[in-house]
Amino acid sequence: MAAASAPAGRGGGLRLLRIGALVAAGLVVLPLLAVVVMAASFSDALPHLWRTVMPQLALNTLLLMAGVGISVIMLGCGAAWLVVRYRFPGHGIMQWALALPLAVPGYLVAFIYTDLLEYAGPVQKALRELFGWQGPRDYYFPEIRSLPGAVMVLSLTLYPYVYLLARVAFMAQSASLLEAARLLGRKPWPAFFAVALPVAWPAVAAGTALALMEVLNDFGVVDFFAVPTFTAGIFDVWLNMNDAAGAAQLALVLLVFTLLLILLERMARRRRRFDTAGPRAAGRGWRLRGWKAALALAACLLPVVLGFVLPVAVLLMHAARFWQESLQQGLMEQLFNTLLLASVVSLTAALLALVLAFAARLDGSATVRGAVRLAGIGYAMPGAMLAVGLLMALAWADGLINDAARAWLGMAPGLLLSGTMFALAHGHVSRFLALALGSIESGLARISPSMEAAARTLGARPAEVLRRVHLPMLRGSVLTALLIVFVDSVKELPMTLLLRPFGFSTLATQTYQFASDEMFEEAALGALFIVMAGIIPLILLVRAMNAPSSQSETARF
Amino acid sequence: MRIWHSKGGKVCRVWVSAALAAGRLWREEFIMRLVRRVAGRRALLAGLAVVFPVGMAMLAGVMPVQAQPAQQPTAGAGQVVTVYSYRQPFLIRPVLEAFTRRTGIKVRTAFARKGLLERLRAEGENTPADVVITADFARLWALKKAGLLRPVESEVLRKAVPAHLRDEEGQWFGLTKRARIIVAHKDRVKDGEIARYADLAAPHMKGRVCIRSGKHPYNVALFASMIAHDGRDATRDFLKGLKANLARKPQGNDRAQARAIHEGVCDVALLNSYYLGKMATNEKKPEQKEWYGSLKVIFPEAQGRGTHVNISGGAVVKHAKNPQAGQKLLEFMVSEEAQRMYAALNHEYPVRPGVQPSELVRSWGELREDRLPLTEIARRSREAARLVDEVGLDH
């Protein structure tokens, strides 16, 4: 669409943007390419799985995605709509509290719920003592280690993606749009389904896509719930059957599947435009009273309590009991490492995402758009696999350097790229760019091309349009991108384990030591630190997004 | 100035103006407001703005430090041996620290559960690693098969590690042992009801068996040993019978199986011996002592071929920069001192003949172990993993 607005004579900035985007995408896609190389040798893993458990794995994966997809849309959109459009007691706190479950690592939430609710856990034990039941045949209790259990826990930890993106979208919606719907006789909720939700759809779809990619790459949670998914199959082929090529092939199947889903969703809304960010964004919201206010508050509280308050309370309990065992030297250093890494990663990812998203919008050529799509799907791949891919690419580059050095200087410098902070940051950015891209692209989709056209007509060059029109209107989306990437980088484990320099540990790697040896209680204190490291930016950024920004949301012309 | 106006200069100008634009935006959007409300919510944004350049500078600072260890001197007191470990650092740290005290050789470790093999392969001859330590023998076998290990000629290691617990070409060595035992409820399971692994699949155990995922390496190794002894068909029948006997879908970790027996979900389960030891001595979690208290230990196949054992093991990397120090580390790890530490701290069985396991472990009775070379088991682990799929044990 916007490609036409780039006259040939003034393409310098644009060409630069395009080159920048291709380089950025190339760096991010590097680990994926290495996985392709890995997959390019013989393996009979696929036929074996096809004959045996593949139908079950695929079915589990699809059901999990469907369940989590529907729940995160309901939870995320519902909560965002309540918080943006209505005013009720506790509204101010709920705005940021609803994002809190994002800060708790999923595998810990999974552990806490399976531990609480399984037959041998305290809840059922207390029920048995209370009612005098003797054995499992005396009563019915839903099996927590099941597909529905996994859907519940994954939804509780992943709905904040949808909530955060939908919230920004709802906030940017012109109030007059809804007022028109109300004037035409729609009640608030029908107005939501007829107007607000369709208009916010790009953001909701982006948030849901992120949640589902996380479902695809997850191993820790589904392992707890004894639900073998496609990713469990990948690890099985890789580690138990000792067949890295087969595992890489499976991972690529997963990527192609993800890409198809994303393209399908895009095609479904290709003909529609959602550029509704207007000068009278947000508005003040409708005041709720009485039982309606209570209901709204309860609806917001439910996911916060289940996804954050309860798990953190359990962690606090364990930490209070085991703080001596888990208090290790260097906690402060790990905290510092974690925050430093997350800051660098989130800022880099947001910057690259901006470049890629702008390039896709302004340049719009098939090459650039393809590169941007590829750059955004790495998140669907299991982190350990992606880490191995990056390792291979960097080690190959190191090999070239060393060979050259041996030939010319007669000495080898050793590994310069692998096992450095650069490798680690590169890995994190590759993995989490999708998160930033999803947020920023959906924000960009809200901005009408007519704004660009107007700006260009008034004589602004492309760079100026970006600076004076797009960036101010994207503020909420950029902050959201920073936030999501930051929190996820704090929690990240498999890549950090494999790519970090010697002696460099983060809160997540330290916590994992205990967690991977069946000592979750001892891991609680570290987990609380992870949660804290995630919460502080979370609260600050969500509040920053609330700051009166209607002036900056209006293009200054 | 000619450069500035040339075509390349145009590119430069674009970048400079982009930087200026970014700076202006930053100022307008963030800095000005920060000044206006000093302690406001912008503090974080400003903080990030500071952290980013500082962080980048630190990254730049870290990199040369990382490049340095590859040029370590290969002799003298300042030696460093680099370990890639599949085992948690806190499990082996006391032994590694003792090694440093004895020899003056420093140890640095990189720990990961997945991908170290691929890392070694990718790094090739540039790898900083000297030694690999694993938590099971299947991984060692895979490392050897990938050509990433080097043979070690060591009288010390050959004497300390029994032949069936090491590679025949000296490419890897077992360091500690753990038995895959059966635990049973002390009242609900009568003596003699279960004495062999095959009994787990017998009709009288219907609805009474708990296991963790059939795909866990410890279970895969056990099934592989059954293939080696009884053949593929017998093992498939066993797995089918086992599946039919399960009280619940395979789930949880090793300790969770003990808890399930305690709570009455099932009567028997497979467990690695050292988890039992850790539960029995868990002062901080008395509930685990209770779990332990309702169990009795059965060494399967004690009358026949012996109980299946797994190992934690070590090997020297093919492209090690400091193979002598690596060999010294392995030799230390099978010394009496280190073996006793393992036994005391972790309730593992020492591999070294003559070193006793902990008193608690001895109280379970004598371990008569399966003496089939682990190599014979390892080469069947892929087949075992596939059998688990064919039978659909986890589904």
Answer whether residue B44 shows pLDDT above 70. Answer: no
Answer whether residue A547 shows pLDDT above 70. Answer: no
> pLDDT-based confidence at B64, cuts 50/70/90?
very low
Q: Domains plus CATH for chain A?
A: 12-276+286-553 (1.10.3720.10)
CA A220 – CA B25 distance, rounded (Å): 42
Q: Is B57 on the interface with A (CB under 8 A)?
A: no
The number of angstroms, rounded, from the C-alpha of A291 to the middle of its chain's C-alpha atoms is 35
Question: What CATH fold (topology level) applies to the domain B179-308+375-391?
Answer: D-Maltodextrin-Binding Protein; domain 2 (3.40.190)
pLDDT on residue A465: 82
CA B156 – CA A150 distance, rounded (Å): 50
Q: Is B263 on the interface with A (CB under 8 A)?
A: yes
- Overall average pLDDT of the B371-383 stretch: 94
Looking at per-residue confidence, does A241 or B14 come out higher?
A: A241
Q: What Å distances lie between residue A270 and A193, A257, A262, A440, CA to CA?
A: 20, 20, 12, 18
Residues of chain B with CATH 3.40.190.10: 76-176+309-362, 179-308+375-391
CA nearest neighbour of A245 among A78, A45, A393: A45
> pLDDT-based confidence at A289, cuts 50/70/90?
confident
pLDDT on residue A459: 84
Answer whether residue B262 shows pLDDT above 80. Answer: yes
- Overall average pLDDT of the A49-75 stretch: 93
Q: Which long-range contacts (CB under 8 A, 24 or more apart) does A9-12 make?
A: A10/A461, A10/A462, A12/B10, A12/B11, A12/B14
CA nearest neighbour of B351 among B337, B366, B334, B368: B334
Given A396, A414, A422, which is nearest B59 (Cβ)?
A422
Share of chain B above pLDDT 90, in %: 69
- Overall average pLDDT of the B359-371 stretch: 94
CA B19 – CA A256 distance, rounded (Å): 38
Give me the residues of A, 337-366, that contact B with CB < 8 A. Answer: 339-340, 343-344, 346-347
> pLDDT-based confidence at A202, cuts 50/70/90?
confident
Answer whether residue B169 shows pLDDT above 90. Answer: yes
Smallest Cα distance from A34 to chain B, Å: 11
Given A56, A239, A518, which is nearest B253 (Cβ)?
A518
pLDDT on residue A413: 76
CB pair distance less than 8 Å for A52 and B29: no
Q: End-to-end CA distance of chain B, in Å?
A: 73
Q: What is the mean pLDDT of chain A?
A: 85
Q: What Å distances lie between residue A526 and A106, A325, A529, B87, B104, CA to CA?
A: 14, 11, 5, 19, 32
As its CATH architecture, domain B76-176+309-362 has 3-Layer(aba) Sandwich (3.40)
> pLDDT-based confidence at A98, cuts 50/70/90?
very high
Looking at per-residue confidence, does B58 or A86 come out higher?
A: A86
Residue type (1 letter), A240 = N
Most A-contacting residue of B15, B389, B390, B391 (CB-CB within 10 A), to test interface: B389
CA A204 – CA A253 distance, rounded (Å): 25
Answer whether residue A46 shows pLDDT above 90. Answer: no
Share of chain A above pLDDT 70, in %: 92
- Overall average pLDDT of the A187-205 stretch: 84
pLDDT on residue A544: 76
Give me the residues of B, 313-332, that contact A with CB < 8 A. Answer: none
CB pair distance less than 8 Å for A241 and B385: yes
Q: How many CB pairs under 8 A join A and B?
A: 221
CB B253 within 8 A of CB B212: yes
- Overall average pLDDT of the A57-69 stretch: 95
Across-strand partners of B271?
B181
Share of chain A above pLDDT 90, in %: 33
pLDDT on residue A278: 56
CB pair distance less than 8 Å for B70 and A516: no
pLDDT on residue A325: 66
- Overall average pLDDT of the A401-426 stretch: 83
- Overall average pLDDT of the A473-492 stretch: 91
Packing angle, helices A331-362 and A12-39, rounded to 10? 120
CB pair distance less than 8 Å for B91 and A517: yes
Phi-psi region of A108 (alpha: psi -120 to 50; beta: other; left: phi over 0): alpha
Radius of gyration of chain B (CA): 28
CB B94 within 8 A of CB B176: no
CB A279 within 8 A of CB A79: no
CA A253 – CA A257 distance, rounded (Å): 6
Residue type (1 letter), A489 = S
Tens of pLDDT, residues A496-523: 988 998 888 899 988 887 777 777 777 8
CB B227 within 8 A of CB B372: no
CA A117 – CA B335 distance, rounded (Å): 45
Task: Write the CB contacts of B246 (distance below 8 Å, at least 6 apart in sequence).
Answer: B207, B209, B210, B211
The tokens for A383 are 């982190």
Give the predicted TM-score (pTM) of the model. 0.84
Q: What Å distances lie between residue A524 and A121, A486, A514, CA to CA?
A: 18, 21, 9
CB pair distance less than 8 Å for B115 and A425: no
Answer whether residue B1 shows pLDDT above 50. Answer: no
Q: Which residue of B has its CA nearest to A504?
A: B110
Answer whether residue A426 shows pLDDT above 90. Answer: yes
Q: Is B12 on the interface with A (CB under 8 A)?
A: no
Radius of gyration of chain A (CA): 24
Answer whether residue A407 shows pLDDT above 90. Answer: no
Looking at per-residue confidence, does A514 or A166 come out higher?
A: A166
Q: Is B249 on the interface with A (CB under 8 A)?
A: yes
> pLDDT-based confidence at A138, cuts 50/70/90?
confident
pLDDT on residue A283: 58
Q: What is the mean pLDDT of chain B?
A: 85
CB pair distance less than 8 Å for A541 and B44: yes
